[in-house]
A and B are shown apart, each in its own frame.
Chain A
Amino acid sequence: MSATSSLQFRKLGVIGYYFGVFVFAVVSVVPILWAFSTSIKPLNEVRVWPPYWIPKEPYWRTYREVFETRPFLSYMRNSLIVASATTAICVLLGGLGGYSLSRARFRAKWALAITILGMRLFPPIALVTPWFQLASRFGILDQYVTLIAAYVYMNLPFVIWIMMGFFDEVPQEIDEAGMVDGCTKWQLLRRVIAPLAGPGLATASIFAFLLSWNEYVLAAVLSFSERCKTLPVGVMEFIGDEFVAWNQLCAGALIASIPAFIFVLAFQKYIVRGLMAGAVKG
């Protein structure tokens, strides 16, 4: 093959590759579009064959019905509170913990790091029953505290791990330079480290937020009323004992996704800017 045709071959290959990825992205969105299409259909247009995309009589009221038949607003409030609190606590403790582990000088450092991560490796499914029993005994079932505690446990080790790797890449000299001026550790953190930690914290917070927002099993078991039920539990309630209200389910699912989507979009632009450091160490 001549040089030019091999170059053309390469170019075609590259274009084909990009096209393939683009196709994947489109296909990946299809179920969500279908969910939207279903959410504006009346139920009798959902259970049809062959399935079609555009409803004959678009029924937008479903979006209102979702809030009318179930205390969806409460669910959303609960999800927001639980996810935000979890994220805030994880980011704070995780940032400090990651920094501490990174800068720690004693020998047991790696053992400690692995233990912290190891705590998370225990299958959470086995903890559901003991947690329920503990919470019931202390009367904190169906309270934010319980759910937040569980989610913090589930997220903190990973956040620490991410942040630790990130801080390992921030040279110690910066610390020392700051200390020379007579700062306390706190001041050092606040003024020097925290701004650098932006991208790491952004990744960690997206991670923690989404995990808490989308989690189902623990939320279902540890809560039982609108005082504490979160959105995934609420959306699953549209699956009744006798039939599935598909249009409401889809509408509910889409509504539930919006805050998470906004959060991810908002925070991910912070990651994109040079998370290199944290990524390199992992």
Chain B
Amino acid sequence: MIDWNSPVPMYERVMGDWYILPSGWQEAIEAEGTKSITFINSGSMSGDPAMELNILYFEKLTGIDIIYEEVGEDDINPKQVATLTGRLPHYDLIFLTTFSEPLVDYALQGWVMPIDMLWDDQIASVYSDEMVDTLVMDGHVYAFPYIGWTPKLHYRDDLLKEAGFDRPPESWDELVEYAQKLTVDINGDGQVDRWGFGFHAGDRYSTMMTFGQLIVSQGGSLLKDGKVAVNTHEALEALRFLVDLRNRYGVVPPGVNTYGYIQVPELFAAGKLAMAMGPNWAYLVIRGSEVYPQYRMAHFPLKDPVGGVDPAASFFDFSFYGVSQFSEHKAAALLFLDFLRSYQARHTETYVERNVVPNVLVWSAPEVDFTVPWASLLRESTSQATFWAYENATQVVDIIHEEIGYALLGQKTPEQALRDAQARIDRL
């Protein structure tokens, strides 16, 4: 009933400054008898003003009531899995991520329906090539990316200059060199007062982001022929790097194996880290503190700057929205999804909330450049966004996190850890 390519071709309709509803939408909604659709919003809505704006706009535009449930990150999965295994229509839109509510697994289990009608080649051009590779599974598209984040390098300009460095490190060797100089014991009591560097490897999500970025900064990939491969050269170098930073050079606090992506910016803000590898939105945490004027963000250094890898290569994690296979309001849900992925909605997301969206067009808007901190950095990152989706994602990530944990504790060598990880992953 809905013609997604009319009144104007889909790309124009969706990617113009203002979203245009597809023709036939009213009939479709009436035929369905939909009054409202339900979905989960990660975290409370007061932290998502852009989503709130988008919802309000859509409600006004279509008259469909959007009911959102504000659920904490850890509680999303039980509710969605319970709904979907029970084949219940409770949620219309499904919240997906790379490995907590894994995109691939949900699609394979038939929990989200294919939404090929919302996709065509022109729409694909709005996302980076790697993103398109991941979004299209077996020729079908199941979800649209919502917002994402990538690990970046954060550093204290004043401390770097004090130590004689006038630019951020641009290779891993330089990072180690800087970190060693910046790890200081100020009051001479034998305890380190400020660490040169810090990263997060405390829970599986944080570990994967760190690990993934390190692999991407070498131009490598976690996937080989569509299967997860952790026994690669790049993965080994990445793990060796992490282990050495902690156990050999001693430039990161030993507690890195407990830090999440929330702790690292806090540590930086408290002045305990001179440099850090943390989320791109770290400035939200750092900005109230006294170190903020000296705070800078940069791309995470490549392992080897002359290797031909783009310096902006960024490993991203995205959250997605798909449509539930068991929804009783599919037309309305598709409509809302159509709106959510539109330029207008994405633009609101970035402009209002400074979130990183994978829609490349948004980053060329001048007002975004103006208002989003480090917009150029994020634009480069988005155009080089890499992100992997694979089957059995949660188990894979649990295994990787555990083995990396053993390596960090020094109980296994990096080679051993990765070998064991690969063996366990192959057995899945």
Contact = CB atoms under 8 A, between A and B. Distances in A.
Q: Do A's and B's CB atoms come within 8 Å in the complex? A: yes
Interface of A: 42-44, 47-49, 69-70, 128-129, 132-133, 136-137, 141, 220-221, 224-225, 233, 236-237, 239-244
A138 to B, nearest CB: 11
Given A70-B46, A220-B75, A240-B43, A48 B82 contact: no
A241 B47 contact: yes
B236 to A, nearest CB: 32
Choose among A137, A237, A241 the residue with the greatest number of B CB atoms under 10 Å from its CB. A241
A136 B90 contact: yes
A47 B289 contact: yes
Residue of B43, B82, B272, B284 most packed against chain A (CB within 10 A): B82
A129 B78 contact: yes
A43 B290 CA distance: 12
Given A47-B269, A136-B83, A137-B86, A242 B47 contact: yes
B279 A48 contact: no
Contacts of B284: 242-243
Contacts of A243: 262, 265-266, 284-285
A47 B281 contact: no
Given A44-B289, A242-B281, A128 B82 contact: yes
Nearest to B42: A241
A49 B272 contact: yes
A12 B73 CA distance: 54
Contacts of B43: 237, 240-241
Contacts of B88: 133, 136-137
Contacts of B90: 136, 141
Nearest to A132: B82
Contacts of A224: 69-71, 79
A228 B265 CA distance: 34
Contacts of B271: 48-49
A42 B290 CA distance: 13
Contact of B279 (A70, A133, A141, A242): A242
Contacts of B86: 132-133, 136-137
Given A237-B44, A237-B70, A243-B262, A128 B78 contact: yes
A233 B69 CA distance: 13
Nearest to A69: B46
A2 B285 CA distance: 66
Contacts of B78: 128-129, 132, 221
A38 B72 CA distance: 23
Interface string B32-62: 0000000000111011000000000000000
B270 A47 contact: yes
B288 A129 contact: no
A57 to B, nearest CB: 12
A47 B285 contact: yes
Nearest to A223: B69
A239 B285 CA distance: 13
Contacts of B47: 240-242
Given A47-B269, A70-B44, A242-B285, A221 B75 contact: yes
A49 B265 CA distance: 13
B81 interface: yes
A114 B272 CA distance: 56
A237 B288 CA distance: 21
A243 B267 CA distance: 12
B109 interface: no
A75 to B, nearest CB: 12
Contacts of A133: 82-83, 85-86, 88
Contacts of B285: 47, 242-243
A241 B73 contact: yes
Contact of B72 (A69, A239, A242): A239
Contacts of A242: 47, 262, 279, 281, 284-285
A240 B272 contact: no
A129 B86 CA distance: 9
A47 B266 contact: yes
Nearest to B279: A242
Contacts of B82: 128-129, 132-133, 136, 221
A250 to B, nearest CB: 15
B70 A43 contact: no
B288 A47 contact: yes
Contact of A244 (B69, B262, B269, B270): B262
Contacts of B269: 44, 47
A49 B289 contact: no
A132 B72 contact: no
A49 B73 contact: no
Given A136-B88, A240-B43, 12 more contacts: A42-B288, A49-B271, A49-B272, A129-B82, A129-B85, A133-B83, A133-B88, A221-B82, A224-B70, A236-B72, A240-B44, A242-B262
B318 to A, nearest CB: 13
Contacts of B69: 224-225
Interface in B261-314: 262, 265-266, 269-272, 279, 281, 284-285, 288-290
Nearest to B81: A129
Nearest to A68: B46
A132 B79 contact: yes
Interface string B236-271: 000000000000000000000000001001100111
A220 B85 contact: no
Nearest to A129: B82
Contacts of A244: 262, 266
A44 B289 CA distance: 5
Contacts of B81: 129
A48 B291 CA distance: 10
